[in-house]
């Protein structure tokens, strides 16, 4: 069955105008998705990544004719290493999950090189879903360790599962509860003591820039989501970029190619013990341009201010919502924090999903919900440093109003949203009677 006939330009533009009107973007309103760092996407970066000197570059053209691109990559890689305290960086990974994959494959190669093949990777129960999925994709088995009552790693539980079969310990720090692991140095040392590597999922780097270089906590590698911390847009689901920074010990294992500076010239090189290629060409270059521009705009001082403001704004919202919702970890947070809708569920049968949908009626994108998994009726809130105080206050007010509505008018919350292009959608039906393309029933399969 062929494609339908084409459409005129105005028909296409009107169609996408219609679709755009049915989408909530960051410019529409506050987007406090925990762990996603939905900060403002600077428009100058959108212009810069579209300069013809970048977009018209073919990746196979001689590097002598692409020195500007290579220099940008070289400096971005160096800056990311400086921010995180690592020795070397690959810009190849296309997203955070791809970065996790790249790093774990490097661990695998390094372990095999010392004749020490291992079977397992430890992750805490607060880990993002990509962590265990990556572990499996790299051919390892996941061991999950429970968090303690403070929401951080339970050292005894960790000690129990750490043995010489462990290839790596994978941690998000600050973790997905928005808490920095206070014993982080001890934890990474424990991993090293059994010959395992320590990996940092750097999705939450927005809390740390200029405050600590996370490599100094003893990590061997980390990925960075440029589409979070470095203000590249999420694009409705991508493309992002997930550079990986590593120690000098691991640098020889980086995927090929890496950019190097050799006597005034930027060149591509293949690291001595490279794990090989993890994708075609070099990286999501236009995303790298955006991140580079962001870095050059902010500089060292600006980056530190970003992290400090992200932390202050998160704590501000946290303290203002403390009495309206349950707060399972009621202590200072980093750039995000979690609430629980347990009280509302118990008292009036209103669930976190209802609260999330009701927020849409108030003009806010909901927080991340039902994650991390260890918090009942979880709401994970990350305001980011770019939101104005007025907006934070309006969000706080909306959350408080919803908490009140939960007891006064639960039916309204169950029926939310009422003001969006569609009412609540039936996800169960979609998974039962699967229709994923408009095709005649006789489509070959």
Partner 1 sequence: MSRLDYRSITDEQRAVQLNAIGVASCNELIADIPSEIRLHEALAIEGGMDEIALVCHVGELAAENKQLVCFAGGGCYDHHIPAFIDHIVRRPEFFTAYTPYQPEASQGTLQAIYEYQTAMCRLTAMAVSNASMYDGATALAEAALMAVRHARGKRPVVVAAETLNPQYLEVLTTYAQSGLMQTHVASIEKMCAIGTDSADGVVDSDTVAAILIGYPNYYGIYENVAKVVESAHAIGALAIVCANPLLLALGESPGVLGADIVCGEAQCFGSPMSFGGPGLGYLCATERLMRLMPGRIVGRTCDADGADGFVLTLATREQHIRREKATSNICSNHALNALAAGAYLTFHGADGLAAVAQRCVEGARSLYERLIATDSFAPFNISSVDTDEASVRSYEFAVRYTGPGSLAELYDTLVVQGILPGIVVADDVLLVAVTERRNAAELDRFVEGVNRYAASAR
Ligand X SMILES: Cc1ncc(COP(=O)(O)O)c(C=O)c1O
Nearest approach in angstroms of CB 423 to partner 1 is 4
Number of residues that bind partner 1 (CB under 8 A): 181
Distance CA 403, CA 347 (A): 11
Q: Which of 30, 34, 66, 344 binds partner 1 (CB under 8 A)?
A: 66
How near is the Cβ of 366 to ligand X at its closest, in Å?
15
- Kindly state the tokens that stand for 341: 């809708």
When asked if residue 349 is in the footprint of partner 1 (CB under 8 A), the reply is: no
Give, in degrees to the nearest 5, the angle at Cα 216 between 210 and 222: 85
Whether residue 358 contacts residue 416, with contact meaning beta carbons closer than 8 Å, is answered with yes
Minimum CB distance to ligand X, residue 240 (Å): 5
Site for partner 1 in 317-336 (CB under 8 A): 319-320, 332-334
Q: Which two three-digit tokens encode residue 44?
A: 């100058």
What token pair was written down for 356? Answer: 């999330």
Q: Buried b vs exposed e over 118-148: b needs ≥16 C-beta within 10 Å?
A: bebbbbbebbbebbbebbeebebebbebebe
Q: Which residues contact 355 (CB under 8 A, 6 or more apart)?
A: 341, 344, 366, 379, 399, 402, 406, 413
CB of 235 to ligand X, least distance (A): 11
User: Is residue 281 part of the contact set for partner 1 (CB under 8 A)?
Assistant: yes
Binding mask 232-261 for partner 1 (x = CB under 8 A): -xxxxxxxx--------------x------
Length of the chain: 445
Cα 60 from chain centre: 30
| 105 is an interface residue for partner 1 by CB under 8 A | yes
User: Judged by CB under 8 A, which stretch of 161-169, 224-232, 245-253, 341-349 contacts partner 1?
Assistant: 224-232
Where helices occur in 236-351 by DSSP H, the ranges are 285-321, 342-348
Q: Which is nearer to partner 1, 172 or 225 (CB)?
A: 225
C-alpha 200/C-alpha 244 separation (Å) is 10
Q: Long-range contacts for 269-275 (Cβ within 8 Å, ≥24 apart)?
A: 273/109, 273/110, 273/113, 275/102, 275/105, 275/106, 275/108, 275/109
**Binding site partner of 35, from partner 1, ligand X, none, Cβ cut-off 5-8 A by kind:** ligand X
Cβ atoms of 405 and 347 within 8 Å: the answer is: no
Binding residues among 358-377 for partner 1 as defined by CB under 8 A:
360, 365-366, 371
Cβ closer to partner 1: 173 or 346? Answer: 173
Minimum gap (Å) between residue 289 Cβ and partner 1: 7
Q: Quick one: what does residue 2 bind among ligand X, partner 1, none, with the CB cut-off 5 to 8 Å set by partner type?
A: partner 1
Please, what is the minimum distance in Å from the beta carbon of residue 7 to ligand X?
32
Q: CB-wise, 279 or 346, nearer to partner 1?
A: 279
Nearer to partner 1, 192 or 296 (CB): 296
Choose between 42 and 178: whose C-beta lies nearer to ligand X.
178
| 229 is an interface residue for partner 1 by CB under 8 A | no
Enumerate binding residues for ligand X (CB under 6 A). Answer: 35-36, 95-97, 128, 130, 172, 176, 201, 203, 225, 240, 242
* Residue with the shortest CB distance to ligand X: 96
Buried b / exposed e along 312-338 (16+ C-beta atoms within 10 A): ebbbebbebbeebbbbbbeeebbbbbb
Q: Which of residues 149-178 bind partner 1 (CB under 8 A)?
A: none
Our finding on whether 132 is near partner 1 (CB under 8 A) is yes
CB of 228: closest distance to partner 1 in angstroms? 10
């Amino acid at each position: 069955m062929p494609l339908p006939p084409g459409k005129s330009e105005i028909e296409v533009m009107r169609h996408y105008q219609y679709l755009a009107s049915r989408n909530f973007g960051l410019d529409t309103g506050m987007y406090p998705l925990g762990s996603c760092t939905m900060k403002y996407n600077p428009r100058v970066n959108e212009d810069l990544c579209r300069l013809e000197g970048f977009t018209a570059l073919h990746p196979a053209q001689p590097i002598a004719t692409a020195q500007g691109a290579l220099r940008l990559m070289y400096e971005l890689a160096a800056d990311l290493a400086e921010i995180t305290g690592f020795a070397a960086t690959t810009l190849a990974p296309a997203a955070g999950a791809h970065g996790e994959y790249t790093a774990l494959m490097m661990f695998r190669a390094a372990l095999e090189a010392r004749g020490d093949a291992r079977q397992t990777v430890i992750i805490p129960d607060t880990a993002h879903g990509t962590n265990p999925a990556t572990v499996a994709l790299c051919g390892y088995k996941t061991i999950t360790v429970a968090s303690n009552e403070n929401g951080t790693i339970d050292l005894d539980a960790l000690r129990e599962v750490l043995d010489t079969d462990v290839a790596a310990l994978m941690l998000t720090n600050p973790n997905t509860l928005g808490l920095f692991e206070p014993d982080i140095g001890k934890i990474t040392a424990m991993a090293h003591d059994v010959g395992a590597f320590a990996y940092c999922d750097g999705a939450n780097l927005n809390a740390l820039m200029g405050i600590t270089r996370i490599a100094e906590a003893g990590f061997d590698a980390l990925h960075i989501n440029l589409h979070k911390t470095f203000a590249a847009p999420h694009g409705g689901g991508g493309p992002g970029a997930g550079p990986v920074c590593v120690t000098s010990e691991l640098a020889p294992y980086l995927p090929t190619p890496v950019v190097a500076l050799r006597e005034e010239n930027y060149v591509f090189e293949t690291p001595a013990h490279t794990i090989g290629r993890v994708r075609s060409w070099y990286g999501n270059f236009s995303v790298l341009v955006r991140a580079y521009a962001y870095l050059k705009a902010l500089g060292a001082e600006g980056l530190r201010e970003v992290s400090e403001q992200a932390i202050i704004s998160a704590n501000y919202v946290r303290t203002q919502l403390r009495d309206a919702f349950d707060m399972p970890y009621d202590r200072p947070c980093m750039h995000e924090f979690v609430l629980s809708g347990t009280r509302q569920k118990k008292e009036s049968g209103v669930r976190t999903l209802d609260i999330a949908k009701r927020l849409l009626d108030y003009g806010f994108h909901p927080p991340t919900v039902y994650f991390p998994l260890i918090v009942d009726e979880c709401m994970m809130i990350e305001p980011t440093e770019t939101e104005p105080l007025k907006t934070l206050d309006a969000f706080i007010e909306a959350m408080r109003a919803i908490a009140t509505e939960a007891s006064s008018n639960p039916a309204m919350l169950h029926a939310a949203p009422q003001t969006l292009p569609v009412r609540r959608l039936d996800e169960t039906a979609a998974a039962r009677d699967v229709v994923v393309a408009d095709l005649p029933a006789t489509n070959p399969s």
